[in-house]
A and B are shown apart, each in its own frame.
Chain A
Amino acid sequence: MAENRSQRIEELKHLAQGFRIDIIDMLEKAGSGHPGGSLSAIDLITALYFQEMRIDPKNPQNPARDRFVLSKGHAVPAQYAALAGAGYFDKAELSTLRRLGGLQGHPVCTATPGIEACTGSLGQGLSIAQGMAMAAKADNRDIRVYCIIGDGEMEEGQIWEAALSCAKYKLDNLVCILDWNKAQIDGYCEDVMPLLPIAEKWAAFNWNVIQIDGNDMGQILDAFDQARSCKGKPTFILANTVKGKGVSFMENQVGWHGKAPSKEEAEKAIAELR
């Protein structure tokens, strides 16, 4: 069993690394977009689509599916890479990112199979995930709901409205994951708007708080298991991640929040990732 598990972790790591290459490739082709937050979140997103969630890529509207909302919508290249990898649409479509008639620059549920909500104006996705979890609970449906938020996004008031409200409704079928990559457009979060202490804040809002290395596949899977076993509270996973993870010259660099790599930079990044 332990051997199967470590083997599975290696498979997921391999998948995530491939998606990193897709992310760099599609952003280079698009000529704009957000590499830093896509690379920090891709391990979490890979674990969700390829291990944790019940999905049905051939029937994306299957009512029994688990739900995932990418509230930090600018990281959608990571989600597109995973969706294509899972078979929601053809991988060739990745090269249409940000092109007229192609994949939209932020998630659009009416345009792309597998996307559950329109996001991109920060702060809104957790509320939508809450509604999904409440509806599932109201009808005793065994559906789990996952939402990834960004740390800069946590500055939005609506996040804290949802934090209060999810606890009120005891949504133990909901997992909110913070991609804590520590940087936002104008600088490091602690300079722009200090967020610390984060775990204590969510614990005080009556959430089950789990702290992990969000780029460590084993820790990610363990956290999802722990979240499943928690009853009566929503779970908050504080995922400590590295912005730009996997590409040495992008790691922890604020400047790579919203800038596409040039052809040469992309080649250098992909050579590192291979």
Chain B
Amino acid sequence: MSKATRSVFGETIAKLGETDPDIVVLDADLAKSTMSCTFAKAHPDRFFEMGIQEANMIGVAAGMANMGKKPFICSFSCFVTGRFDQIRLSLAYSNANVCIVGSHAGVGIGEDGYSQQGLEDIAVMRSLPNMMVIQPADEAECASALEYLVKHHKGPSFIRTTRQKLMDVHAPGFQFVPGKSDMLRDGHDLAIFATGGTVQGAIEAHDALKARGISARVVNVASLKPFDSEAVVKAVIECRGHIVTAEDHQIIGGLGSAAAEAIAESGHGALLHRIGLNTFGESGTPAELYRHFGLDGEGITRSILAWLGK
């Protein structure tokens, strides 16, 4: 089964809204794309159409949080996280209980091209104190992460959702735990850390590498901040010091950087290979773009083999 995490967001937040009257959802004229429209239909009195005013929407959410609401603010990830100053001061510094829902992560959105592709969002959100950063890999994880945010988290958070469908990699009922990654395939020659749209490709790479006698661990990282540094260090020790990261995001500031920081601070020697973008996105079908940027199973496999000199 597969589902876009933006759709999972819409369905889950509408459901959570049935039992939590403090949940409010705001959108900046993209409700049918972020899928906040599902909540709007279920709870019209708690949905606020804020128009194409992302900066104002961020401040309004901070004010609502001051009044005891639990706002979820939605837009394309690049647009909302582009209002960094507002997020920095009105949400992060204020420790406002607001969740930023950034949809349309990465080149996976396809044809619209770079201007609509959230490719630096993890990097900027990860730099902010107080900010929790989450990218779920599939339906079960997305639903669980949202439930966690509503029921157990108080403070600013950023959840990154995809336009494209993501294959299920977790069983129904999977529990998201902040600061914890989860191993999807074990291996001992190298470890691939993946997040969101690249998790499926990492699993395919595991299979392809296995056929060539290479045993690759695959670790899914939904909690980008807090980051599971321990899992990276463990992989360094158990997987011959070969670490790969794969993300539909710039390799600077995202998962690749988080892994590099964890390794560098661990005192263990390791080789790190970062797969992702180090350039702007483009137009194309999602599948074409994943192939072009080496983010699909074949691309990740090819990149790893070249890195290993095989």
Contact = CB atoms under 8 A, between A and B. Distances in A.
Interface in A152-204: 157-158, 161-162, 164-165, 168
A158 to B, nearest CB: 5
B53 A117 contact: no
Contacts of A119: 89
A42 interface: no
Given A135-B64, A161-B55, A120 B69 contact: no
A165 B50 contact: yes
A108 B66 CA distance: 13
A16 interface: no
A130 B68 CA distance: 14
A84 interface: no
B61 interface: yes
A134 B90 contact: no
A63 B63 contact: no
B60 A158 contact: no
Interface in A117-135: 117-121, 123-135
A270 to B, nearest CB: 33
Interface in A244-271: none
A113 to B, nearest CB: 14
Contacts of B45: 138
A229 interface: no
Contacts of B93: 108, 110, 118
Residue of A69, A116, A117, A123 with most chain B CB atoms under a 10 A cut-off: A117
Interface residues of A, number: 36
B59 interface: yes
A109 B51 CA distance: 28
Contacts of A136: 67
A170 to B, nearest CB: 13
Contacts of B55: 123-124, 127, 157-158, 161
B60 A67 contact: no
Given A124-B89, A131-B61, A118 B53 contact: no
Contacts of B50: 165
B56 interface: yes
Contacts of B61: 131
B59 A164 contact: no
A63 B67 CA distance: 7
Contacts of A124: 55, 59, 85-86, 89-90
A53 B46 CA distance: 27
A183 to B, nearest CB: 24
Residue of B58, B64, B65, B68 with most chain A CB atoms under a 10 A cut-off: B64
A158 B63 contact: no
B174 interface: no
Interface in B48-93: 48, 50-51, 53, 55-69, 71, 85-86, 88-90, 93
A164 to B, nearest CB: 7
Residue of B48, B63, B64 with most chain A CB atoms under a 10 A cut-off: B63
Given A135-B67, A161-B55, 9 more contacts: A67-B63, A110-B94, A126-B59, A127-B63, A132-B63, A134-B48, A134-B60, A158-B55, A161-B56
Interface of B: 24, 45-46, 48, 50-51, 53, 55-69, 71, 85-86, 88-90, 93-95
Interface of A: 63, 67, 69, 108-110, 116-121, 123-136, 138, 143, 145, 157-158, 161-162, 164-165, 168
13 contacts: A117-B90, A119-B89, A120-B89, A121-B85, A124-B86, A125-B59, A127-B90, A128-B90, A131-B66, A134-B48, A135-B63, A136-B67, A168-B51
